[in-house]
């Protein structure tokens, strides 16, 4: 008997337009290896001390708006084995340009994701998935080059995201969680 088939659970929200809205994202290093530095200090004065790989991750993350002008970065924390961040994507308006408005990214019921043309492979250009894919690709290339190697993955496949709701102060709670992450490290 062979191995049972592997099933991939699709974790993205159906009907959510990942080209707009605010998202809490988490990207994990492959095998949760502590690749990006270390947490120094304890409790309330704990902070992340980035190594060369961590500085590349930081530089590439901060460069996202240079490559995706509709993206705005908010609270970000690189940890030894993962990255937490809030990223907001401006929705397209009229002529395809973008305008900053508060948006959750949810589509109206009469505009389902079915209206988005099917692509044979890969995420929709400008979407959260496209941004994360470009970031992971660039950081992997640069860190592998730093280490004089080619091929190894830097990140776990996929990423975790949560669409941030406007109501109830969720944005502020998530930003605080990200900022306090070093103090809660192991």
Task: Work out how many domains the chain is built from and give that number.
Answer: 1
Domain for residue 25, yes or no?
yes
Task: Chunk the chain into consecutive blocks of 10 residues (it has 186) and report each block's average pLDDT, rounded to whole numbers.
Answer: 55 62 95 97 91 98 96 97 96 53 36 49 85 96 95 92 82 94 90
Q: What is the pLDDT of residue 26?
A: 97
Q: What is the pLDDT of residue 91?
A: 77
Angle between helices 128-146 and 52-62 in degrees, nearest 10: 150
Residue range(s) defining the domain that contains residue 32: 21-95+123-184
Domain for residue 155, yes or no?
yes
CB 85 within 8 A of CB 20: no
Domain for residue 105, yes or no?
no
Q: What is the CATH number of the domain that holds 160?
A: 3.30.70.1290
Domain for residue 103, yes or no?
no
Domain for residue 102, yes or no?
no
Domain for residue 179, yes or no?
yes
Of 28, 82, 79, 73, nearest in space to 49 by CA: 79
Angle at CA 132, nearest 5°, toward 180 and 181?
Answer: 10
Of 50, 33, 32, 21, nearest in space to 166 by CA: 21
Domain for residue 11, yes or no?
no
Q: What is the pLDDT of residue 117?
A: 54
pLDDT digits over 95-146, tens only?
A: 554 444 333 333 333 334 445 555 456 788 899 999 999 999 999 999 999 9
pTM: 0.78
């Amino acid at each position: 008997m062979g191995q049972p088939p592997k099933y991939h659970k699709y974790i993205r929200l159906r009907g959510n337009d990942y080209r707009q809205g605010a998202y809490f994202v988490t990207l994990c290093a492959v095998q949760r290896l502590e690749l990006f530095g270390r947490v120094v200090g304890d409790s309330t004065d704990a902070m992340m001390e980035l190594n060369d790989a961590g500085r590349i991750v930081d530089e590439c993350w901060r460069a996202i708006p240079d490559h995706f002008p509709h993206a705005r970065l908010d609270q970000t924390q690189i940890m030894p084995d993962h990255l937490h961040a809030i990223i907001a994507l401006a929705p397209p308006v009229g002529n395809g340009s973008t305008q900053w408005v508060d948006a959750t990214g949810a589509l109206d019921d009469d505009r389902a994701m079915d209206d988005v043309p099917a692509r044979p492979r890969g995420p929709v250009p400008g979407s959260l998935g496209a941004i994360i894919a470009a970031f992971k690709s660039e950081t992997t290339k640069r860190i592998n080059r730093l280490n004089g190697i080619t091929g190894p993955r830097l990140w776990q496949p996929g990423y975790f995201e949560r669409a941030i709701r406007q109501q109830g102060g969720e944005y502020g709670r998530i930003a605080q969680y990200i900022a306090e992450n070093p103090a809660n490290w192991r």
